[in-house]
């Protein structure tokens, strides 16, 4: 069995999530402009949840005020609830439209989000095609991530293996409790989702992990300093050679 190399995650702690989000957006903009200057596309892996909202707000500002173009950007979102109507305000399709896509000049055909409307029979082939589509454009350049209290990345709940790929998963009770306020009660939170796998995320050339607030402090410590384990899927990032962790002071308080 080969022994995988581990890395000390690169931690960047900022006074506030606003400052941190601007830094993360600046890194994304820098890559897009560099690729644009070479006539190349930029492939972004995108996340939902509250953590990336400030990054999206800053990318929108850079587009509107500083002319950052997304014409050559191709995106793949991490996950979507299953079942989920794309028109529902709870869908990640809706979230991405409202919080980013409708405000920028990305081409609709360059947007990819797992499909929450699939029947059970369609899920496996959809997931395989999602992997193939990522590979066909040369893989993800920058993957944005948040972290759930279970240590999930995307919806890779514990236990998720290092080589897991895009697939259907059952959501953890804690994840459903955390999502419940937005759905008006846990009984309305879907029990399942489609998510990129840990292995899919690990193939990204660069990962930017965002975590804000006191409630993330314990799991952030575990991700960075804990033993690598399927029980805390975010610890697998310790095997990733180029992960930047962006924290505000409170999320970094247990380190």
Cite the active site residues. Answer: 157
Q: CB neighbours (10 Å) of residue 205?
A: 15
Q: CB neighbours (10 Å) of residue 36?
A: 17
From 51, 77, 91, 200, residue interacting with ligand GLP (rule: CB under 6 A) = 51
Stretch that binds ligand GLP, among 26-34, 148-156, 222-230, 243-251 (CB under 6 A): 148-156
User: Is 243 among the residues that bind ligand GLP (CB under 6 A)?
Assistant: no
User: Is 146 among the residues that bind ligand GLP (CB under 6 A)?
Assistant: yes
Stretch that binds ligand GLP, among 13-21, 69-77, 141-149, 232-240 (CB under 6 A): 141-149
Nearer to ligand GLP, 68 or 189 (CB): 189
How many amino acids of this chain bind ligand GLP (CB under 6 A)?
13
Nearer to ligand GLP, 78 or 84 (CB): 78
Candidates 106, 116, 249; CA nearest to 191 is 116
User: Is 194 among the residues that bind ligand GLP (CB under 6 A)?
Assistant: no
User: Is 48 among the residues that bind ligand GLP (CB under 6 A)?
Assistant: yes
The DSSP annotation for 143-167 comes to: EEE---TTS-BTTBPSS--TT--SE
Subset of 151-180 contacting ligand GLP (CB under 6 A) = 154-155, 175
Residues 103-122 as x/- pattern, contact with ligand GLP by CB under 6 A? --------------------
User: Is 190 among the residues that bind ligand GLP (CB under 6 A)?
Assistant: no
**What are the strands of the beta sheet with 142-145, ordered from one edge?**
10-14, 243-248, 206-211, 142-145, 42-46, 73-77, 111-112
Subset of 65-84 contacting ligand GLP (CB under 6 A) = 78-79
Nearer to ligand GLP, 148 or 233 (CB): 148
From 54, 114, 116, 148, residue interacting with ligand GLP (rule: CB under 6 A) = 148
Which H/E stretch holds residue 18?
helix 17-37
Number of H helices, E strands in the chain: 7, 10
**Rounded to whole angstroms, how far apart are CA atoms 128 and 123?**
9
Nearer to ligand GLP, 68 or 219 (CB): 219
**Rounded to whole angstroms, how far apart are CA atoms 13 and 1?**
36
Instruction: Name the β-bridge partners of 248.
Output: 14
Which H/E stretch holds residue 133?
helix 120-136
Cβ atoms of 36 and 68 within 8 Å: the answer is: no
Applying CB under 6 A, which residues contact ligand GLP?
Answer: 47-51, 78-79, 146-148, 154-155, 175
């Amino acid at each position: 069995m080969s022994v995988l190399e581990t890395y000390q995650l690169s931690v960047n702690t900022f006074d506030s999530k606003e400052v941190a989000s601007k830094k993360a957006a600046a890194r994304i903009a820098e890559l897009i402009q560099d690729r644009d200057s070479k006539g190349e596309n930029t492939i972004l892996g995108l996340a939902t949840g509250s953590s990336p909202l400030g990054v999206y707000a800053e990318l929108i500002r850079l587009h509107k005020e500083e002319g950052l173009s997304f014409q050559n950007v191709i995106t793949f979102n991490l996950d979507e609830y299953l079942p989920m109507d794309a028109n529902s305000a709870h869908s990640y399709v809706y979230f991405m439209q409202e919080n980013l896509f409708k405000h920028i000049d990305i081409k609709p055909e360059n947007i990819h989000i797992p499909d929450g409307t699939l029947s059970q029979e369609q899920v496996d082939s959809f997931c395989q095609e999602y992997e193939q589509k990522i590979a066909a454009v040369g893989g993800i350049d920058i993957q944005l991530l948040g972290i759930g209290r279970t240590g999930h990345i995307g919806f890779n709940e514990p236990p998720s293996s290092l080589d897991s790929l895009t697939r259907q998963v059952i959501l953890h009770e804690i994840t459903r409790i955390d999502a419940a306020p937005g759905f008006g009660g846990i009984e309305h939170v879907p029990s399942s989702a489609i998510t990129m796998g840990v292995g899919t995320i690990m193939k990204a050339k660069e990962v930017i992990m965002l975590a804000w607030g006191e409630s993330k402090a314990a799991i952030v410590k575990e991700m960075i300093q804990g033993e690598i384990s399927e029980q805390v899927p975010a610890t697998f990032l310790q095997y990733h050679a180029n992960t930047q962790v962006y924290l505000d002071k409170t999320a970094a308080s247990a380190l």
